Structure 1
Amino acid sequence: MVSALNGPTLAASRAALSAAMADDNPNISDDAESIEPGEIQEVNMEAQAEGIRTVFSDPTNFNVKHPLYSPWTLWFDSPMTKNRNLPQTPISAVPQTPGPLPQTPGVAAAQGWMEDIKRVISFDSVEEFWGLYNNIVPPSALPQKANYYLFKEGIIPAWEDEANKHGGKWSIQLPKDKNKPHVDKMWLYTMLAAIGETFDPSLTTLDPSGSPPNSLITGVIVSTRPQFYRISIWTRLAPGMPDDDDGLRERIEGVGRHFKVNVLGYTESAKLAGPLATDVEFVSHKDSEKKGKSKKITI
């Protein structure tokens, strides 16, 4: 049977099993060699479990990984990264992922803007996410005009990317003075909802072909500005775009509702509008590019 785990995850699992079943493993009885064919070897499962290390118990040397539905990449920019040859990120103890930008369609059009954005690291497991999260500066401590971009691997955080060009974004703008104690938790919950694929409930259903639909979510962003924070969820489709269908608006609204109620913790009827705040609003990237009033969906 072919394993459903990817290479790194399978290797980690095999290493953990090999360590647990080694000849000098105290969890295996001394008379293991005397077992007759067909007999079952008794294993002290409680003692064996003590050899399993997760990122929660050992953030550096964990030996068990739980794969995510999709791999993700964290990007970062701030005034310190503008026009610099070397990345000046607030990342500590996290190795940077080398290599050029992924050459997906539309990248050439975004290259100028993307020159200032630094790709930090890619990950594909729960443990690697927490290892990353535990070693980066939280949004509340970032400098003004800094941004974290968490996007699915192979998708760059630009409108021009093939995965984004027909989509849009849900976003909320939060006054800084009232939300500095809360923005870190809001951003964490937003990332967890993204990598856990809970924003789009339709992923739990099957289309006529018997397969789940493609996730609407391409990435999430947190931005710090002099007077507010902004958290955004980018989608690959938007109502009225070429790939629209009868249920797309309902799916888009479901993402915004989940974002507002289950991730940010507001009631659905809460009104957040104000001088520096917005309700949870959706606008397509095409409408964002147009001058004048955009067509918005508000939750």
Structure 2
Amino acid sequence: MASASTLPGPAIQASKAALNAALAENEIKTSKNGDAPLEDGEIQEVDMQAQAENIRTVFNDAKNFNVKHPLYSPWTLWFDSPVTKGRNLPQTPMSSFPQTPLPQTPGGLAAQGWMEDIKRVISFDSVEEFWGLYNNIVAPSQLPQKANYYLFKEGIIPAWEDEANKNGGKWSIQLPKDKNRSNIDKMWLYTMLAAIGETCDPLLAEADQDQPSSLITGVIVSTRPQFYRLSIWTRTAPIGSGQADDDKLRERIEAIGRHFKMSVLGYNEGQKLAGPLATEVEFLSHKDSEKKGKQAKKIVV
């Protein structure tokens, strides 16, 4: 998991504010006169040991914690599998979730039909809530075939047609199931932590001021009969125009891919991963994903 120092500045400040507020709420006031009110000019003494004992984070108690560390952005977990399709499972009504309407095109209408089967699990905006969620969901290695977890920033639907995704693409890797059953849970956890910690996009950690917006919209893990697939979705994708702005975007996209491969998944930079049922860490724009054959332009790290 990334250390707090790698979070963007606003996230660090929010975390400090939350901790300071918790300390203030749990402050135990003492004075020379015991419980008597402090007199003018009298210095208040604070029992730091008692304060520390009253603070409980998710690491102390996964269910009963009283300190929350805000994330830079709120996130929503979605889920679908063959066993949920067509079933009226308990969930938050889609109508109560803020979202961009999908276009009334054949693709948009198809996505709307698909969204009827996907289940919104929960939204969260703190480190503690994330761990509370993670500790109470089924691990990818235990999911049924053709199941998917989608972790996306709140307000973004995990569909190509969403306004935040339509001009973007995805980094993905496909891993044979029999060789990676013991690794997929850790890989998915690290992928989620990189997303909510805003470390997927290295440019964010390097920027001191005038911080750019994150390119990351969400991450996905999919289980299939013979393989697992992990993906990181981006808001934009290079188009190969040769223009300076497009070349700069490609460099940034490639940096995300290298971080995904090495820092998140744990592979070496030059390590070759392709093989039976396996792919390299590859990027495709969503528009190119719809193309067949050699027209699709992949970026590989």
> TM-score when scaled to structure 1?
0.86
**Residue 215 of structure 1: aligned partner:** 214
Q: Deviations over 1:39-96 (max 9, x none)?
A: 3211111221100011111222211000001000000000011111225xxxxxxxx5
**Residue 103 of structure 1: aligned partner:** 99
**Residue 144 of structure 2: aligned partner:** 143
**Residue 7 of structure 2: aligned partner:** none
Q: Deviations over 1:178-201 (max 9, x none)?
A: 100010000000000000000111
Question: Post-superposition shift, 1:264?
Answer: 0.4
Seen in structure 2, the aligned counterparts of structure 1 residues 61 and 98 have a Cα distance that, compared at 3 Å, is farther
Q: Give the number of equivalent residue pairs.
A: 278
The answer to whether the Cα contact below 8 Å between 2:187 and 2:265 also exists between their aligned partners in 1 is yes
Decide which moves more: 35-44 or 232-241.
Answer: 35-44
- Kindly report which structure 2 residues correspond to 1:50-65, keeping only aligned pairs within 5 A, or say none: 50-65=53-68
Q: Deviations over 1:230-251 (max 9, x none)?
A: 0000000101189953310010
**Aligned counterparts of 1:113 and 1:241: Cα–Cα separation in 2:** 31
- Report the AA paired with residue 106 of structure 1: L
The answer to whether the Cα contact below 8 Å between 1:13 and 1:63 also exists between their aligned partners in 2 is no
**Aligned counterparts of 1:156 and 1:120: Cα–Cα separation in 2:** 13
**Residue 122 of structure 2: aligned partner:** 121
Seen in structure 2, the aligned counterparts of structure 1 residues 253 and 15 have a Cα distance that, compared at 3 Å, is closer
- Greater helix share, structure number: 2
SS at match of 1:136: coil
SS at match of 1:119: strand
**Aligned counterparts of 2:14 and 2:205: Cα–Cα separation in 1:** 20
- Report the AA paired with residue 158 of structure 2: P
**Aligned counterparts of 1:194 and 1:42: Cα–Cα separation in 2:** 42
**Aligned counterparts of 2:101 and 2:246: Cα–Cα separation in 1:** 24
- Kindly report which structure 2 residues correspond to 1:228-239, keeping only aligned pairs within 5 A, or say none: 228-239=227-238
**Aligned counterparts of 1:189 and 1:231: Cα–Cα separation in 2:** 11
Q: 2:40 aligns with which of 37, 41, 59?
A: 37
Q: Deviations over 1:2-53 (max 9, x none)?
A: xx759xx96x9757633x23xxx5x635625353223321111122110001
The answer to whether the Cα contact below 8 Å between 2:171 and 2:284 also exists between their aligned partners in 1 is yes
Unmatched 5+ stretches in structure 1? 88-95
**Aligned counterparts of 1:142 and 1:56: Cα–Cα separation in 2:** 26
SS at match of 1:246: helix
**Residue 250 of structure 1: aligned partner:** 251
**Aligned counterparts of 1:13 and 1:99: Cα–Cα separation in 2:** 36
The CA RMSD measured in Å over matched residues stands at: 2.4
**Aligned counterparts of 1:292 and 1:77: Cα–Cα separation in 2:** 29
- Report the AA paired with residue 75 of structure 2: W
- Report the AA paired with residue 271 of structure 1: K
**Residue 270 of structure 2: aligned partner:** 269
**Aligned counterparts of 2:112 and 2:206: Cα–Cα separation in 1:** 37
- Report the AA paired with residue 147 of structure 2: A
The answer to whether the Cα contact below 8 Å between 1:166 and 1:241 also exists between their aligned partners in 2 is no
The answer to whether the Cα contact below 8 Å between 1:32 and 1:41 also exists between their aligned partners in 2 is no
SS at match of 2:132: helix
Decide which moves more: 29-38 or 57-66.
Answer: 29-38
**Aligned counterparts of 1:128 and 1:51: Cα–Cα separation in 2:** 19
SS at match of 1:79: coil
SS at match of 1:245: helix
The answer to whether the Cα contact below 8 Å between 2:62 and 2:132 also exists between their aligned partners in 1 is yes
**Aligned counterparts of 1:103 and 1:48: Cα–Cα separation in 2:** 42
**Residue 17 of structure 1: aligned partner:** 24
The answer to whether the Cα contact below 8 Å between 1:72 and 1:123 also exists between their aligned partners in 2 is yes
1:47 equivalent in alignment to 2:46: no
The answer to whether the Cα contact below 8 Å between 2:102 and 2:112 also exists between their aligned partners in 1 is no
- Report the AA paired with residue 103 of structure 1: Q
**Residue 224 of structure 1: aligned partner:** 223
- Report the AA paired with residue 160 of structure 1: E
Question: Post-superposition shift, 1:203?
Answer: 1.4
Among all aligned residue pairs of Structure 1 and Structure 2, give the percentage whose two residues are the same amino acid.
74
Question: Post-superposition shift, 1:267?
Answer: 0.2
